[in-house]
Amino acid sequence: MKKRSSVHSGAMQKASSMRIGPGPEITTLPNGVRIVSEYIPDVLSFSLGIWIASGSRDEEKGKEGAYHFLEHLAFRRTEYRSTKALADAFEQMGAYSNAFTTKEHTCFYVRALSKDFAKVYSLMAELTLSPALDSRDIEKERNIIIEEINSCEDEPEEVIFEAGEQLLFGSHTLGHPITGTIDTISSMERSDLVKARAEMYRPDRIVIAVAGNIPHELIVEYAANTFTMPKSSKSKVIRRKPRIQKVKQEIQARTFQQGHVLLGRMTTGLFSEERYRLLLLNIILGEGMSSRLYQSIREKHGLGYTVYSSLDLFTDSGTLYMYTACDNSNIERARDTILNECNRMMHSAPVGKKELERAKAQVKASIIMSLESMSARMQAIGRGLLEEGKIESVEETISKIDAVTEQEIADIIDNYCETDGWSTVLIESHHA
């Protein structure tokens, strides 16, 4: 393995640090790479994530799926190790490594024992900074990703949510599948991937996050000696905000065992004052057995086994969905039952204090229990710094949740639950 170049003399002294209360600490290297860590001395493990503020919405037109392709290739081979050698190196320490790509970022992460931090960090830096991008590996991974895309076609929820995103976002990049399409992946050249990677791995778009029994100063030392790329001279990436599309309905016929119903609409994003109100609305609508949709679709009418709502917030927009699967003959009835529940929330059965307090308790318990997981802590501080530029403390988050009033929930329901504001995808099952 080649010796890595060391940081220039004095760079460590120039890095700026600040404390965020008693929890996470942040350091920014001279080139713009940010390190955030939360030291938990009472555990024997750690979780590390290398976060990059580049996701599928940032890809060049016609090259959709490039960032996800690069995520795959990082584990295929580096300049120093084969795929098998990488896997062996991680697993001989009992470490678990993986990665994911989303609409707005990419993350390479690992869970391991604290005593193995030096070796594990070196491996993670290697696979993110030194992928081989070998032409033979590209062809192998191209085939694997095409199979991944094909496998999604066998998953009803994948199919219907992808269709829903296309209805809500139209031609905007947020409507594109993260994996790309068979056409874009089939035509992807090595030069396209090299270009995408150069745009993706800018130091000002990288956050290294660690939670566990690892001192912050040690993480900074390692990062300063590996993430040594020069400061980017390019201007800040400006994302184009999506426009609200007209309400639409799409009906598909598929060889699935059940029919499927999806209602969706756009919301405001992470920085909106509606953020925590939307979070609570989603809980009330379709998270858990006491939710409105579960009680109506499953318990009262017996229309389906799977029913839920989901909320995704991006930096400038978001999506709120309601979904169920049912017998083909009940598709329209299930859709109408969901819309009727929205109507009831607006008029005859508004959310009261008890229901709101139950939703708040669910959210707060989930947040507090996540503190017992190093992976959850790492994701919270990594995403917080990457997406919002700051890390909100648990106390701040809980305070904002507690501050939501019945009137604010009534207002958010009025804004989002009118029955004519939902785009709809219906999938009818046709047996082969």
Residue 234 is predicted with a pLDDT of 76
The counts of H helices and E strands in the chain are 16, 12
Complete edge-to-edge strand list for the sheet that includes strand 206-212: 16-19, 25-28, 34-39, 206-212, 45-52, 106-113, 96-101
Question: For the whole model, what pTM was predicted?
Answer: 0.91
CB atoms within 10 A of CB 218: 15
Candidates 59, 64, 71, 165; catalytic one: 71
Q: Where are the beta strands (DSSP E) in 280-341?
A: 307-313, 318-326
Give the chain's domains with CATH numbers: 11-224 (3.30.830.10), 249-429 (3.30.830.10)
Q: Would you call 322 exposed, middle or buried from its count of C-beta atoms within 10 A (0-12, 13-18, 19+)?
A: buried
At 92, the amino acid letter reads Q
Query: DSSP assignment, residue 93?
Result: T
Complete edge-to-edge strand list for the sheet that includes strand 307-313: 249-254, 423-429, 259-267, 318-326, 307-313
Residue 21 is predicted with a pLDDT of 40
Tens of pLDDT along the chain (432 residues) come to: 333 332 233 333 345 444 434 589 999 999 999 999 999 999 999 999 999 999 999 999 999 999 999 999 999 999 999 999 999 999 999 999 999 999 999 999 999 999 999 999 999 999 999 999 999 999 999 999 999 999 999 999 999 999 999 999 999 999 999 999 999 999 999 999 999 999 999 999 999 999 999 999 999 999 999 999 999 877 777 899 999 999 999 999 999 999 999 999 999 999 999 999 999 999 999 999 999 999 999 999 999 999 999 999 999 999 999 999 999 999 999 999 999 999 999 999 999 999 999 999 999 999 999 999 999 999 999 999 999 999 999 999 999 999 999 999 999 999 999 999 999 999 999 875
Which DSSP string do the residues of 44-67 spell out, in sequence order?
SEEEEEEEES--GGGSPTT-TTHH
Q: How far apart are CA 205 and CA 33, in angstroms?
A: 7
The answer to whether 423 and 164 are in contact (CB under 8 A) is yes
Active-site residue flag, 71: yes
Residue 22 is predicted with a pLDDT of 57
Burial profile 87-101: b = 16 or more Cβ within 10 angstroms, e = fewer: eebbeebebebebeb
Of 3, 107, 132, 101, nearest to 48 by C-alpha is 107
Q: What are the Cα distances from residue 327, in Å, to 163, 286, 295, 322, 353? A: 20, 20, 18, 17, 35
Q: How far apart are CA 253 and CA 430, in angstroms?
A: 6
At 78, the amino acid letter reads T
Q: How far apart are CA 365 and CA 71, in angstroms?
A: 33
Residue 18 is predicted with a pLDDT of 41
